Structure 1
Amino acid sequence: MLYNALFNLGILAAVWGALALAPSPLLNSPSVPFGVRVPPDKANAPEVAAQRRRYGALLLAATAAVAVLALVACAALDSLVVGAVGGSLLLTVVGVALWIRAHRAVADAKEQGGWYEQTRQGAVTDTSLRTDPVRFPWPWAIPAFAIVAVSALVGAVVYPDLPAEIALPQKSFSGTVYQTYPTTFWTAFALVLAQILVTASMAGTVAGILRARADLDVSRPRTSAARYRRYLTSMSRSLLGMAALLNLMLLGLSGMLWSDNRSQSLMALVVGVPVLAVLGIIAHLVLRVGPGGSRLPADITEPDSGLVPRDDDRFWHGAGMIYVNTDDPAITVPRRVGFGWTVNLGNLRFLVVTAVLVAVAMGVGVVVAVTM
């Protein structure tokens, strides 16, 4: 019982930490508090600071209440994960609601205070990101591709000797259970196919962000452009490194699958080490690189242009989380809330490609279901 309670509290503490950091400059540009674009000199305005304090206080109170409910559910149902899963979902919903409330409050303060009325707005681009783009770091992709090749080779060797049925792990409220399936190509090589999907997704993501529209600082465009190039290099290498680590985890799980090894300690090692390494990469990006490369050292300096970023709130919906601009040819743009990039849901090319991929995925799913 004590272990279950500590497990639930640990999960909720992790969720609280992630939600508490959401409005922090660690994950967001200071000029977009709670997803609202404000002039740089208003990033720490009293109205913004008050919303940060209120968001943090209400989130802490909500976490305490949800923790009590989770512990009660854990004790009543005698389950390790029911309280944690339900509590995490509930706390996430509360956190999103608090974020939306703070977003509206900051937007109202911005409008009522006329924060943009006396500013010189501008936008800047660096054409060299198209004429001389940051190159795809192919050497950093070699480990991910090599692990996929090793997995496929080992699988091809052991496949003829596999038993008629193979056990695949399934997650349930009572923990990890195993379900047996007839041994087919799809069941035996399911995790190898997952490796291919992970590698292709990461490579595609890197290719996309290298062509994404840059969100440069109009007050110091040359400095910002140089820093952004270093940011792209750090992000692309990190993503490919994560792909290699995830593929390594899937290789270990494939080995356990093919050998019918159900050791929980071995599974914890196979999964835990790569996941911890991925978390280490993410921590490096957050603490040492920063949103848009804001923590990277600047190679050059230049005087302040006196311009501020244009007020583009009309293109951002869902409390600053969803970008829709039919006039913007870019498919991928920097996220306003959180770290990394998001897609332009107003871009027709993206919508067409997404529809095609969904149709292909549904077709593959039908084929797999029929053949299993």
Structure 2
Amino acid sequence: MPEIYFVLLITLFLPMVVLTSFIPYFTRQTESFGITVSEEVFHSADLKRMRKRYAASNFIIQAILAVIALAMSVRNSDSANVSAMWIMIYVLLSIVTQFLTMIYFHKTMKKYKAERLTDMIMPQVKLTIDMNFRKQKLVISKKWYLIHAVLIIATFIFTLMNYDLFPDKIVTQYDFQGNPTTIKDKSIGTVFMPVVMQIMMTLLFMFINTVIYRSKQQVDTEHPEASLEKNRIFRLRNSVFNLFASLMIILLFSFMQLQMLYPVDPVILAAVCISVVVLILVGTGILYVTTGQGGSRVKSPVAPSTKPPRDDDQNWKLGMFYFNPQDPSLFVEKRMGYGWTINHARPLAWIILVGIIGSVVLVSVLL
């Protein structure tokens, strides 16, 4: 394996290890490992120690897995399939171990609340909703995605005008040594694949922008105005980052389209691809640190709330999966992690999720 690949893989693994380890610090300060608490309790010594324990244990586990995967990839660098297999094993084990670690700390927190925070166990009936919340500027206009449309049209015209110049054999995949591993015959599908993916990705990110806007409100009944402003900032920043990330991906596919006709060194190609991923990861880290889930890390003039928000722990299975047939909302903020998830009790939410995944898989297979 060339040294550059080792360096590039490190730049991918390290941010992922750090981001996954500090997830509890980016969540809402009214939720601890998927369990409802007050902001005052969130900042207590016991919960601070619990977050440190999670960060340390997860970092050690993820770091060990990453080192093993990289070591085995380097050791088997002469075999592209074996190297790729170890990277996939790392990704799978990383997801599984993080999931299990989350469940362990969720159960620990659930037990802690049952024993030490009995006054917060009973659900609260009061629910605050601001009817004018969506009249504010929560997300950027979809008109910004006209930039994507211009890039896609330009890439399409370039491809169409130069279609006859594309080689009869097109390389679509390389191994870690820069050798072609997948070569396909020239066809409309293979040549226009980057353009089709640009269209798919643009539609997907526009949909995410809609989810950010329409997702369920969460209001602190003790400080409603401050919490709504923090949530507005949270949505707007995520909307802007969504535009940035999607633009990076669209530009990457334009680059891939160009290199089909004007091939570049595989190492440079890999460096460009991974650099885009690193830029997105760095942007994600900045967003996590400066904003936090629901705007939890946005500075506020009000003191931490002493009262917990409406307790609906019973609707969150394992603290991760929202299941509430009585809630008409399709999309809600995650409790463990950053971003949004679906209301698993709503069939329409499943239809949308399966439809998106199915469309991407179908296009990939057909192309």
Structure 1 length as normaliser, TM-score?
0.82
User: Which shows bigger deviation, 94-103 or 7-16?
Assistant: 7-16
Of 34-43 and 245-254, deviating more is 34-43
Aligned equivalent of 1:20: 21
Q: What is the aligned partner in structure 2 of residue 308 from structure 1? A: 308
| Post-superposition offset of 1:227 | 2.8
* Match in the other structure for 1:275: 277
Once residues 229 and 57 of structure 1 are traced to their aligned partners in structure 2, the CA distance between those partners, rounded to angstroms, is: 32
The DSSP-based 3-state class of the residue aligned with 2:100 is: helix
CA distance in 2, matches of 1:209, 1:2: 41
Residue identity matched to 1:227 = K
Report the Cα offset of residue 291 of structure 1: 1.9
Q: CA deviation at 1:71?
A: 6.5
Structure 2 residue 142 is matched with structure 1 residue 143: no
Q: 1:203 aligns with which of 203, 206, 218?
A: 206
CA distance in 2, matches of 1:289, 1:71: 32
Indicate the residue corresponding to 2:253 in structure 1.
250
Q: Secondary structure at the match of 1:309?
A: coil
Distance between the aligned counterparts of 2:49 and 2:256, measured in 1? 48
**Residues 34 and 106 of structure 2 are in contact (CA less than 8 Å); yes or no, is this contact kept in structure 1?**
yes
**Residue pair 1:335, 1:341 contacting (<8 A) in 2 also:** yes
Contact conserved, 2:40 with 2:304, CA < 8 A, in 1? no
Query: 5+ unaligned residues in a row in structure 2: which ranges?
Result: none
CA distance in 2 between partners of 1:68 and 1:208 (Å): 37
Structure of greater relative contact order (alpha carbons < 8 Å, 6+ residues apart): 2
Distance 2:6 2:361 in 1: 40
Query: C-alpha deviations, 1:261-318, integer Å up to 9, x for none?
Result: 04124414542453344334323322323322234455xx67988643011111112x
- Which residue number corresponds to residue 35 of structure 1? 34
Partner secondary structure for residue 325 of structure 1: coil
SS at match of 1:342: strand
Change over 3 Å in CA distance of 1:135–1:188 after alignment to 2? same
In the TM superposition, what is the alpha-carbon distance from 1:231 to its structure 2 partner? 2.6
Task: Tell whether 2:92 aligns with 1:93.
Answer: no
Matches within 5 A, 1:284-363: 284-297=286-299, 307-317=307-317, 319-354=318-353
Residue 64 to residue 353, structure 1, CA distance change in 2 (3 Å): closer
Evaluate the alpha carbon distance shift between residue 94 and residue 364 of structure 1 in structure 2; reply closer, same or farther with a 3 A threshold: closer
- Distance, in Å, in 2 between the alignment partners of 1:72 and 1:228 is 43
- Structural mapping, 1:26-175, within 5 Å: 27-63=26-62, 65-66=64-65, 69-70=68-69, 73-74=72-73, 77-78=76-77, 82-117=85-120, 121=124, 122-130=126-134, 134=138, 136-163=140-167, 165-172=168-175
SS in structure 2 of the partner of residue 217 of structure 1? coil
Distance in structure 2 (CA, Å) of the matches to 1:227 and 1:197: 32
- Tell me if structure 2 keeps the 8 A contact 1:119–1:307: no
Conserved in 2, the CA contact under 8 Å of 1:12 and 1:84? no
TM (norm. structure 2) is: 0.83
Number of residue pairs aligned between Structure 1 and Structure 2: 361
Cα distance in structure 1, aligned partners of 2:41 and 2:225:
23
Distance across 2 between alignment mates of 1:175 and 1:2: 9
1:226 aligned onto 2:229: yes
Task: Tell me how far 1:247 sits from its aligned partner.
Answer: 0.4
Please tell me whether the aligned partners of residues 38 and 307 of structure 2 are also in contact (alpha carbons under 8 angstroms). Answer: no
Contact 1:323 1:345 in 2 (8 A): yes
1:215 to 209, 215, 218: 218
Deviation at 1:258, TM superposition (A): 2.6
Report the Cα distance in structure 2 between the residues aligned to 1:177 and 1:203, rounded to whole angstroms.
34
CA contact (8 A) 2:31 2:42 kept: yes
Go from structure 1 to structure 2 and tell me whether the alpha carbon gap of 1:58 and 1:292 turns closer, same or farther (over 3 Å shift). closer
TM-superposed CA distance for 1:104, in Å, is 0.4
CA RMSD of aligned residues (A): 3.4
Q: Which one-letter code corresponds to 1:281 in the other structure?
A: G
